[in-house]
Structure 1
């Protein structure tokens, strides 16, 4: 029987507006709704998502800004509080947790959530850089009691890198769809392009950086715009803004592109879009694509590792196009604008990605009393 007298610990570094932080808070909210006490063990403590934590969550500040520097403090926490299990969020936290358990001399079960396709993220790096990234994984991951991946693609990739059995890695969908989502999406949209009678609006979202490959989306949009009036809105901020602005001017579409920056509530834009496009080079399981589907918005996505192929069931719920192929993306965008799938069909595609269902599956694993290691 699970020991419900002891808390579940979630070990993570909060450092901004990222999707990981948002998923962690969604998960904790779901665990609390299921009646579990949660200790949120923090390295960094910045970020607006912390404001959404339930009041009863115990925040444990380790007093450091770097994950590996937190190992001694985490070991002291494990010795003192003896949590029922510790869920480490992301690679560095997982490796630090293994070292802290060894230092603490406890038998704490360690589970780790992974959300990135590491092989693709490291593609193009030097052999030395890849070795420095992969060697600690191969050494430490077999010492983790259970690895939880956000998609089958992430699970397959992790098993290959770490040299562990794929059966030791469990896939659990992200807790993306919260009870608040419909209300947030129904909030007023302050952008004139989304008013009735305006041309169709295509939306992209994410940090303005290489991974998201917005240059390909802008080039595809320029092709679509040649055949019909339409506009493109990209939500997000990052160091690629100047490059994207220069590209839009070069292609002559600057008047129909708006880089509107980060929005705390992006859902009125997603819900009112005629089309959402994910142009990423790689993902783990793209939350914004899941949210667009949950709001009934038609989508087009790159068939990147990992996640879109699983979310869209191989193209059943939205077109999949090769990474970096602006022409194929433009064709899929035009066809989807002409023949969008029914909203209820799109919503059904992501029915397993609710906060409640995801938290229930996480709790089952956290309380399972795993025997043996994934290797």
Structure 2
């Protein structure tokens, strides 16, 4: 694709994603769109389906448009029309099936736009754990069309390896840009008061986990590890989030006999006030392309234990900023949480590490990439 240099007057950038529902990639798009708006770009966020609650977090200058498609993969004609009408200088597509739509639509529209496709989650995990055939076909299609893009972006080096392996795309053609997760608002929200009595400060230490209650987060292993920990010491577990596994997790808590020490607080607009006050933050996932909540916990100066499941090893610099344990290893998780609760914590060091995941850093990297490719 030949590209003229982006014009010096207002540059236009479009972010394409399925929806602005609650999720990691959606949060990234919301933060990035706001950052581009703040840096003088004309910004559109185009959703292939419904808008969703994160729309309210966007800055006033960002325009949201919906293609109102029943399925993302059928939204190509509407998106071609959009591209011909708006002619953005740059287009940043997010998540595999959306990326495929973007690559095909840019070809069909024959517009001069710099296309970056962004992968957020482990393709190998999706092929293994989810609707394998559908995910495999999407990944293979991605392998065919990604070379049409001007840039392929992943949110960690670990994920870049995974994407290259599953799609067959050349690893050297993939750029890593960490997620824009740490914003000034996080620190303001962290100071909000917490009504939950467990955070009053004089009771047993509180272990916290935050995330969607889905199979990939492997919370049963965390619950069993926590029950073992209770045999050694008094502590409490707060689970912040909601999702399809909530009922079975509540049943497991009752079966393990730990209902007095575990609280489900549901989905929270502001989990940072909990992270700021918790004694340890635990991530027990099977696979994470990045892990926004780990970057947030670092910014809050909260001690971390995580499974070694992809992106977290990079965020924690191979265990420098928190303990890494093997996926699904109940024993190792119990020991790691126990040790973390007894140690003094270098909160300043954790917060400094979180500087790598600020919105400003991600904006600089994306702007440089898009302008360099144009």
Normalised by the length of structure 1, the TM-score is: 0.94
State whether residues 84 and 109 of structure 1, in contact with CA within 8 Å, keep that contact through their aligned partners in structure 2: yes
- Which residue is 1:164 aligned to? 169
Q: Deviations over 1:203-229 (max 9, x none)?
A: 011111110000011111111111111
Q: In the alignment, which of 220, 226, 232 is matched to residue 225 of structure 2? A: 220
Separation of aligned partners in 2, 1:26 and 1:15: 11
3-state SS in 1 of match to 2:373 = coil
State whether residues 20 and 54 of structure 2, in contact with CA within 8 Å, keep that contact through their aligned partners in structure 1: no
1:109-258 matches, within 5 Å, as 109-123=114-128, 128-129=133-134, 131-258=136-263
3-state SS in 1 of match to 2:222 = helix
Could you tell me which runs of 5 or more consecutive residues in structure 1 were left unpaired when the two chains were aligned.
Answer: 371-375
3-state SS in 2 of match to 1:11 = strand
Q: CA deviation at 1:354?
A: 0.4
Separation of aligned partners in 2, 1:108 and 1:68: 20
- Which residue is 1:79 aligned to? 84
Q: CA deviation at 1:249?
A: 1.7
Q: In the alignment, which of 329, 336, 359 is matched to residue 355 of structure 1? A: 359
Q: CA deviation at 1:152?
A: 0.5
3-state SS in 1 of match to 2:207 = strand
Separation of aligned partners in 1, 2:156 and 2:37: 24
Greater mean alpha carbon deviation, residues 177-186 or residues 155-164 = 155-164
State whether residues 31 and 360 of structure 1, in contact with CA within 8 Å, keep that contact through their aligned partners in structure 2: no
State whether residues 117 and 146 of structure 2, in contact with CA within 8 Å, keep that contact through their aligned partners in structure 1: no
Q: Deviations over 1:188-243 (max 9, x none)?
A: 11211100211100001111111000001111111111111100000111121222
Separation of aligned partners in 1, 2:76 and 2:138: 19
Greater mean alpha carbon deviation, residues 211-220 or residues 240-249 = 240-249
Q: Deviations over 1:18-72 (max 9, x none)?
A: 1221111111111122221111122223322101111111223323242222211
State whether residues 212 and 279 of structure 1, in contact with CA within 8 Å, keep that contact through their aligned partners in structure 2: yes
- Which residue is 2:341 aligned to? 337
Q: CA deviation at 1:261?
A: 0.9
- Which residue is 2:50 aligned to? 45
Q: CA deviation at 1:301?
A: 0.2
Q: Does 1:295 align with 2:304?
A: no
Q: CA deviation at 1:109?
A: 2.2
Q: Deviations over 1:263-290 (max 9, x none)?
A: 1111111111000000000011000011
Aligned residues: 369
Separation of aligned partners in 2, 1:196 and 1:320: 27
Separation of aligned partners in 2, 1:124 and 1:74: 30
Q: Assess, with a 3 A threshold, how the Cα gap between structure 1 residues 84 and 290 changes in structure 2: closer, same or farther.
A: same
Q: CA deviation at 1:369?
A: 2.4
Separation of aligned partners in 1, 2:176 and 2:80: 28
Q: Greater relative contact order (Cα 8 A, min sep 6): structure 1 or 2?
A: 1
Q: Deviations over 1:328-372 (max 9, x none)?
A: 0000000010114310011122211001111111111112225xx
Q: Does 1:321 align with 2:321?
A: no
Q: Assess, with a 3 A threshold, how the Cα gap between structure 1 residues 310 and 359 changes in structure 2: closer, same or farther.
A: same
CA RMSD of aligned residues (A): 1.6
Separation of aligned partners in 2, 1:273 and 1:124: 31
Separation of aligned partners in 2, 1:71 and 1:130: 19
- Which residue is 1:373 aligned to? none
Could you tell me which runs of 5 or more consecutive residues in structure 2 were left unpaired when the two chains were aligned.
Answer: none
Separation of aligned partners in 2, 1:6 and 1:344: 38
Q: Does 1:107 align with 2:112?
A: yes
State whether residues 14 and 45 of structure 1, in contact with CA within 8 Å, keep that contact through their aligned partners in structure 2: yes
State whether residues 96 and 138 of structure 2, in contact with CA within 8 Å, keep that contact through their aligned partners in structure 1: no
Q: Deviations over 1:71-128 (max 9, x none)?
A: 1111112112211011111111110012212221223221111110111222256874
